[in-house]
Structure 1
Amino acid sequence: MAYMIKKHSIYKTDNWNMMTVEVHGRNLVLREISDQWGEETHHFMSRPEMMHWAENRFAKDKFEGTDEEWQSIMDALKGV
């Protein structure tokens, strides 16, 4: 069964710091690229699984940006 891959940009600060999510049917492929760590790819079987990862990865009490930046990332992930 063929399906269209939808790509969502979560954030992009420059060519070396960005996050995207590709929707492959029911599967989600999240790519996080940073100038510090290189590229990390995460595969999720569901949106709740991805959001659980995001809540740990972007724990509000440890986030190094503004509340608005944190909310923007979480809203973008919820919108996938």
Structure 2
Amino acid sequence: MIKKHEIYKKDKWNMMTVEVQGRYIVLREISDQWGEETHTFMSRPALMHWAQNRFPKDDFEGREDEWRQMMAAFKQV
């Protein structure tokens, strides 16, 4: 069974979803700038490590709530 999590969705061109497929975690990032990128992780710690590098807290200065919500969504995977 595939379990799908939506990390964020601004519109149909800017979104990120994570699917748990057995022991694999497949992340799809769709953006109007780069198209679709897919990343596969073997563990939740690997996913969290990627997320914290991809979305450094310093980049969300003044939008800390947005960063916290995104990290919380990753942790729920």
Query: TM-score, with normalisation over the residues of structure 2?
Result: 0.94
Percent of aligned pairs with the same amino acid? 73
Aligned CA-pair RMSD: 1.3
Match of 2:21 in 1: 24
Deviations 1:18-59 (A, max 9, x none): 000000111100000001111000000000000000010000
Match of 2:56 in 1: 59
Match of 2:39 in 1: 42
Query: TM-score, with normalisation over the residues of structure 1?
Result: 0.91
Any stretches of 5+ residues in structure 1 without a counterpart? none
